[in-house]
Amino acid sequence: MKIDFSEYRKKVMGCWLGKAVGGTLGGPVEGICKPMSLTFYDPVPEEMMPNDDLDLQVVWLETLLRKGLPVNRKTLSEAWIEHIHMYWDEYGASIRNISQGIYPSASGYFDNGFTAGMGAAIRTEIWACLAPGDPALAVRLATEDACVDHAEEGVYATLFIAAIESAAFVESNRDKLIETGLSFIPSSCRVAKAVKDTIKWWHRKKNLHKVREILIEKHANQNWTDVAINMAFIILGWYAGGNDFNEILCSTVNCGHDADCTAATIGSILGIINPSSIGEKWLKPIGRDLILSPNIVGMHHRKNLDEFSEQITRLSCDVLKYYSSETSFGGAGETNYLRTPLNNNYTSITDIENNEALISTSPFPMVLEYPECIALKPEENKEFSVKIQNPFNKNIKIKLHVSVPDGWTLNNLDFNFVLGKSSLKKCYFKVKAPASDTIRAYRNPIDFTIEAAGLKWTVSAGLPMSIPWLCKRTGKVPEKCPGFSRKDKLKIIEAAGHFANIPDGPCVFTTDVKTPFDIIYRIVVQSNRETKIWIDGDLKNLHKGLFRVPALHRSEETQKDIALSRGWHRFTIALGNGKGGQLFTGIGYPGSWKWTENIEYRQPILK
């Protein structure tokens, strides 16, 4: 398929202008979960409102220009640590995982209460613009991005939008575009069901507010950034607004919830389909300066959207050629925007599951496969594997040595093999975690030392260990902090991360936590029932267990800012009567909203 390069450039510019307009319109009302009646900016801005929807894509562009192709999840995860100081929701969970050596895809899947958040679906435009008219390629690139901080529904929403935006470069029919998006995600997933319900109810009711109420009832939950309801609102606004940019944009934003993201996304789609549909009244107040959030650091970005768009259009020529896309440009001229990629065969190892992590891309791509739950319990002996790919056109003799920290054990330390040209080898080994009385260090490195072609180097990853809780049943929630002794009938609960399963009925949990600094921490404790929290015997918080969004910055009555000295502290949590559910306990910094990745735990020492 050949696309006229001059028309493509206009559509790319329309994409980013639509993104900026929608994000600026929706930014002031983000998180409002009731119907609204906006018809224009309120307040009217003097410049584009900075927004993570665009910020992250500026980071991705600089990363690609520096590191070259192919697009890969490991390089993007490194850019998170280097450039992005945004720690809310899925961003914070994945950054905590990456800091502990848990790389994507596992970084987006493990211990993440926001796998279905909007954070990746809002940053798809760069992948669509780099793969215009090739939705399969846009989906492939977007997958590398989304899996860093999402899994399943959050990834599906990303692929849905990326496919629509890519196809919009060559197709303008709304229904065909939506069908294209749906074709890349499971028909049984929540995102697909929400989209199909929206279309069904729109055709029956033809009323924005009535359809919105039906969708809220069926697809919304306490997390207003959940992808299912927000994908539904994007589609609802698209239908309700007819063919008018103003009406579609305002219909979308007035549905509420993650309104800056939904408006920015539909603005991008409309800007690609018809750049001239964005009226001057929307463009004049925001200008074209590229305004980034202060949380984005170490960047060397272009000063305005025009230059940013021009970089992307030139880079697209390299991307389409590198991935052998059927899309090509007419009138683009000769371009060579990127340095020569290191791993021309890397793309054959990108089918990486949720419990796997891309731990190296050069000189040999390597993928570590964890057990399904990823975290190991004390003395648990689980099978791991590491896949090593030879990207070179010759056989290579390899020596591989695996090592783990003291207290951990391996059943197979050394592997010697010849890796055929362009082939892949999978090495299996078992890892046994230390005993239950071991301090749960925040980072447990597993090191792979490789010798090949006269070189020797080490690739490292993390071995997460479960968080220990002691639990006992009670008749009711106690007034005072209950003690624990060896005489109690105790159940040991090893939680694979910050979410612990709760038994039926009233009960009390306890664990020991080591904090590294003398500062104020934000403690978030959530469950599905009455909850009471003591630290070192002092009552710190209590609530009814009605709110369950495990975020550091919007956890309402379930959060408390508490000054703690460095060292060990006893956390005791009493839970009222209820059936099952999960206990979430998180510790972070109130100023930055960052989870403390260097917190350590131990099973309480009892008398």
Pairing of strands 2-4, 328-330: parallel
Distance from chain centroid for Cα 239: 28
31: left (phi over 0), alpha (psi -120 to 50) or beta: left
Which residues make Cβ contacts (< 8 Å) with residue 86, sequence separation at least 6? 52, 55, 92, 293, 295, 296
**Tokens representing residue 52 in the block:** 């993570």
Name the binding residues for Mg(2+).
Answer: 52-53, 258, 260
β-pair partners for 491 = 471
> 574: part of which helix (H) or strand (E)?
strand 567-575
Which residues make Cβ contacts (< 8 Å) with residue 267, sequence separation at least 6? 17, 18, 19, 20, 21, 22, 23, 25, 249, 278
Torsion of CA 146, 147, 151, 155, to 10 degrees: 30
The 3-state DSSP class for residue 250 equals: helix
Contact between residue 265 and residue 272 where contact means Cβ atoms under 8 Å apart: no
Contact between residue 68 and residue 136 where contact means Cβ atoms under 8 Å apart: no
Contact between residue 374 and residue 101 where contact means Cβ atoms under 8 Å apart: no
Contact between residue 365 and residue 346 where contact means Cβ atoms under 8 Å apart: yes
**What's the rounded Cα separation, in Å, for the pair 241 and 10?**
23
Residue type, 317: C
What burial class does residue 584 get, using C-beta atoms within 10 Å of its C-beta: 0-12 exposed, 13-18 middle, 19+ buried?
Answer: buried
How far CA 11 is from CA of 21, 53, 90, 203, 309, in Å, comes to: 15, 18, 31, 30, 10
Residue type, 223: N
Name the binding residues.
Answer: 52-53, 258, 260
HSE-up of 445 (CA within 13 Å, CB side)? 8
Positive or negative, the Cα torsion across 64, 66, 67, 69? positive
Q: Where are the alpha helices (DSSP H) in 206-258?
A: 208-219, 227-240, 245-253
| Distance between start and end Cα atoms, the chain | 74
Instruction: Tell the residue number behind the tokens 């899996």, with chain if given.
Output: 147
**What's the rounded Cα separation, in Å, for the pair 489 and 314?**
67
φ/ψ (deg, to 5) at 235: -70, -40
Torsion of CA 34, 37, 39, 43, to 10 degrees: -60
**What's the rounded Cα separation, in Å, for the pair 25 and 39?**
9
* DSSP 8-state class, residue 296: B
Distance from chain centroid for Cα 389: 26
**What's the rounded Cα separation, in Å, for the pair 380 and 218?**
41
Distance from chain centroid for Cα 241: 30
Distance from chain centroid for Cα 523: 22
**What's the rounded Cα separation, in Å, for the pair 319 and 325?**
8
Spatial CA neighbour of 268 closest among 390, 126, 428: 126
